[in-house]
Chain A
Amino acid sequence: MSNSVISVRNVSVRLNGRMVLEDVSFDVESPSLITVVGPNGAGKTTLVRLLLGMVRPFKGSVKVLGLDPFDEGSKLRSLVGYVPQRDKVSHEIPLRVGEVVLMGKVLRRRFPRSVSRDDVESARDALASLGMEAHWDSLYSELSGGQQRRVLIARALASDPELLLFDEVFAGLDSESQGNLLAIIKQLKGRGKSMLLVEHEIDPIMDLTDRILVLNRVVCVYGEPSKVLSEDALRPLYPCLRTIEKEGKRVMILGDKHA
């Protein structure tokens, strides 16, 4: 029986008079790891916002875990975890790591959103599952980029969601932090979590991903990495694309050319 986590059907989104997504359709089966790639301005972040119910399509339908994200958002919120881009989070605010992780619990509640002992326990568990329990009282702003990313993942995991959405979590990380993050994603995949990652580059996540969706306002290609990742398919989107050998593996460098 088909177990669809995400079902997007002929969706078009217009923002500030500009068509950002056009006639986008794809399905994601559970459990699986999907990577969405595309040049800057391709509509990747809008796609994530669409799945979170923060943007309403003017055409088509979206179902996440069988629910409409816009009209049934309150039911959906406890089932979906979101990890935003690094630059969407303030690095100036002196919040403790514990307070950041608890945000994922308390904001899902109705006002006055009090924090219970269970909330603290599940927030600590989420942090511990990523090897960060010792940092509960540390200042978020004083952590390294890789550690901050882990805290944000712990925040997304605090409510034990079925689906995780990541928006460019590998961006700006050194190779060691990328390795640590990959290990976490592998661990989450092993726990049966479905994940959708939006990335600018395919390389870091290529070995783990089940399917790749190449987006550039429309769905250009969607399928298994071996079928999607051909230079012929990607060249029109990434004029600067080149393939190199790195540690004995073939790696595609998409380049920064904007579409």
Chain B
Amino acid sequence: MLDPFVLRAIWGILFASLSTPVSVIMLLRGALYITPEISHAALGGAAVGVLIQLFFPGLPDPFFFAVLFCIATSLFVSRIGKGGQQALGMMLSVSLATSVMLYAIIRSYLPIDRRVAVDSYLVSDLLLLSDMDVLSIAVVSTVAIVVTAVLYREFIYICFDMETAESLGLRVGLYDSLLFTVSAVTVAVVARTMGVLLSVTFLVIPAAVSRLLARRTGKMLVTSFIAAILSGLGGIAISLFYNVPTSGAIALVSISLFLSAYSIKLILSR
């Protein structure tokens, strides 16, 4: 029988892995590079959530504030990003600076036991996830993956040819915003499970692995999911055997997977 801490970590990884198909679509949309930046908003959101919960204990888990902050930042950045790369870069810096400021200022006013809750968004330890954490992650990531599955065709077509999609009557602005919203939700889930500092491990690397190994869009989604699961479970195993931090171990397995995929691709292309 598995230890409840390990079991919760495994559930956390399974639900965080559901984010990878969304990351693949963001990769095809040419916007995956903004997702690690969006994850910083989770830090500010969590800090605000913890502060509010201090005064109003009945309010939802700080994770939901992290989700809301990520959604707001993602939509804001996607709108401003249409003004060009410079505007996008500037807005990403603004969102990062705002989140870091909120985190630092609010953290200094929090009692020590509540600081831990905010810090867990910076460097998370999967083995410390609570039942409530797992439940929140499960609900949010399930909603995100269901929405993605239902709107998959629309998302892929706007990534492929937005102009024609619009000419055929698709409300491309609405669907694009929905894609950025769903992506933001998955970013918040990954920030909660992996921590903001190592979120790139789950947000970018499995999608990059799938790009190297799969030749069809559908297969890319499956490959990225498998890559995320392997990284997660492999990382938990290494962390337990060698007593090293879980998120760091997952990141290392994930990078090893990417290097292996890159080598395979290199050998096959010769």
Binding site for B on A (CB under 8 A): 49, 52-54, 73-74, 77, 82, 84-85, 88-90, 92-96, 100, 103-104, 106-108, 112-113, 139, 155
Cβ of B159 under 8 Å from chain A: yes
Residues on the A chain within 8 Å of B270, using CB: none
User: Are A88 and B28 touching (Cβ within 8 A)?
Assistant: no
Which residues in B have their C-beta under 8 angstroms from that of A89? 160-161, 163-164
Which stretch from B2-10, B150-158, B181-189 is at the chain A interface? B150-158
* A82–B166 CA distance with the chains assembled, in angstroms: 11
**The stretch of B15-23, B45-53, B215-223 that contacts the partner chain:** B215-223
Please state if A108 and B164 are interface contacts (CB–CB under 8 Å). Answer: no
Contact between chains at A90 and B169 (CB < 8 Å)? no
**Neighbour of B217 across the interface among A49, A54, A95, CB < 8 A:** A95
User: Are A54 and B168 closer than 8 Å at their CB atoms?
Assistant: no
Cβ contacts under 8 Å, B154 to chain A: 107, 113
B230 touches A (CB below 8 Å): no
- B169, A88: Cβ atoms closer than 8 Å: no
**A84–B161 CA distance with the chains assembled, in angstroms:** 9
A139 to B164, CA, bound (A): 19
* Interface of A (DSSP majority class): loop
Q: Which residues of A contact B157 (CB under 8 A)?
A: 103, 107
Q: Is the contact region of chain B dominated by helix, strand, or loop, or is it mixed? A: helix
- The reply to whether A92 and B166 form a contact with Cβ atoms under 8 Å apart is no
Q: Could you tell me the distance in whole angstroms from the C-beta of B43 to the nearest C-beta in chain A?
A: 31
Residue-wise interface mask of B (8-50) relative to A, using a CB-CB cutoff of 8 A (1 in contact, 0 not):
0000000000000000000010100000000000000000000
- CB-CB under 8 A from A139, the residues of chain B are 215-216
| Contact status of A108 and B153, CB under 8 A, knowing A84-B163, A93-B217, A103-B160 | no
A93-B156, A103-B164 known; A73 vs B216 contact (CB < 8 Å): no
Q: Are B150 and A112 in contact (CB under 8 A)?
A: yes
Considering residues A85, A89, A107, A108, which has the most beta carbons from chain B within 10 angstroms of its beta carbon? A107
> Is B168 touching A93 in the complex (CB atoms < 8 A)?
no
Can you list, as one digit per residue, whether each of B196-208 has a CB less than 8 Å from chain A (1) or not (0)? 0000000000000
Task: From B156, B161, B162, B167, give the contact of A52 (CB < 8 A).
Answer: B167
A residues near B159, Cβ cutoff 8 Å: 90, 93
Given A95-B217, A106-B153, also A77-B163 (CB < 8 A): no
Closest to B165 in A: A107
Kindly supply a per-residue 1/0 record for chain B positions 244-267, scoring 1 wherever the CB is within 8 Å of any chain A CB and 0 otherwise.
Answer: 000000000000000000000000
Cross-chain contact A113 with B153 (CB below 8 angstroms): yes
**A94 lies within 8 A of B216 (CB):** yes
Q: Which residue of B lies closest to A155 (CB)?
A: B164
Bound-state Cα–Cα, A53 to B217, Å = 31
A92 touches B28 (CB 8 A): yes
